[in-house]
Amino acid sequence: MISLNDLIEPFVRFQFMRHSLLAVVMVGTLCATIGVYVVLRRMAFIGDALAHTVLPGIVLAYFNGLSLFLGAVVAGLLTALGIGWLSRRETLREDTAIGIMFTFMFALGILLMSTARSFRDFTHILFGNVLGVTPGDLTLIGVVSLIVLGTLLLFHKEFELTSFDPIHAEVIGLRADRLRYALLILLALTVVTAIQAVGVVLTSAMLVTPAATASLLTNRLPRMMLIAVVVAISAGVIGLYFSYRYNVASGAAIVLACSVLFGLAWLGRTLRRALSGFWARYR
């Protein structure tokens, strides 16, 4: 049996474990909160897409000796605006627009990359390494978290309304399209920041799985965000611990922990429904 001491030992002993713990907590909170909108607005595909479309920005920034993060942010914002523009007024469905921007930007990145001699410099930023986050990364994640969570909090009622009834929003003069752009931009910032710290796969998982888990357990928006954050942080801590204890890849361990929590929530809901059906029949 694992004791509490065993559980906290790696975090007390190693600074890099403390740093990665902090990164996972912040990225988990950030991704899980905005992830609730991603899931409710059926944009699950977009996190994955954004994670790939930053590639040309990174490559160009690298060639010109600029900050890779800045390149990623610019490419992410361009993607977000491109998706918003292509799918405005339902000319194209949003998932189609995402598919087009995703492949275009990723192919552009590959093309640019093929002109360089080595691919290796880019793999780090694309796949990230949660065990290797620096204090600089942590500051960056902290600042982006404040911006994104602050905006979501300030405009909560507007984001909520445009998510389920954009028509009423338009009728009362609320610009649903601009709020959609705002959300896409916040999402681009989130994804770019999270990728640098924890990689593409972990970012996609943190955006979708905790929010989906929470959506099985409640039908209140604020509670859904809270549960999603708890799920993300729990998965982060469990995953980090397992990756240390059994010497397995940390990102993958966290994603699997997320999936297991989702599975448990699913199982719990199914059992609850079956039981309430059973009681209803035999009472």
Partner 1 sequence: MIASAKAKWNDLHLFYSHRRYTAPVPESAALEIENLCVNRPNENVLALENISVRVPIGTRLALVGPNGAGKSTLLKTIAGLLPIRSGKLLIYGLPVGACHHRVAYLPQRGEIDWRFPITLRRLVMTGRYVHLGWLRRPSPRDWQIVDQIIARLGLSELAERQIGQLSGGQQQRALLARALAQEADLILLDEPTSAVDAETQAIISRLIAELSRDGKTLVVATHNLERLESDFDSVLYLREGRQVSESALQHTR
Please report, as ranges, the residues that interact with partner 1 according to CB under 8 A.
40, 89-91, 154-155, 157-158, 160-161, 163-165, 167-168, 170-175, 178-179, 182, 215, 218-221, 224
Rounded to the nearest whole angstrom, what is the least distance from the CB of residue 133 to partner 1 in the complex? 33
Closest distance of CB 51 from partner 1, Å = 26
Please give the full DSSP string across 81-131, using - where no structure is assigned.
Answer: HHHHHHTGGGSS-HHHHHHHHHHHHHHHHHHHHHTSS-SHHHHHHHH--GG
Q: Which is nearer to partner 1, 22 or 174 (CB)?
A: 174
d(CA 211, CA 226): 9
Residue 265 Cβ vs partner 1, minimum distance, rounded to whole Å: 15
Q: Choose between 6 and 170: whose C-beta lies nearer to partner 1.
A: 170
Q: Which is nearer to partner 1, 226 or 252 (CB)?
A: 226
Amino acid (one-letter) located at 71: G
For partner 1, give the closer residue by CB, 110 or 217.
Answer: 217
CB of residue 156 to partner 1, shortest distance in Å? 9
Distance CA 255, CA 81 (A): 29
Identify whether the C-beta of residue 237 lies closer than 8 Å to the C-beta of residue 253.
no
Sign of the C-alpha dihedral, residues 43, 138, 142, 242? positive
What's the CA gap between 202 and 258, in Å, rounded?
Answer: 10
| Shortest spacing between CB 161 and partner 1, in angstroms | 5
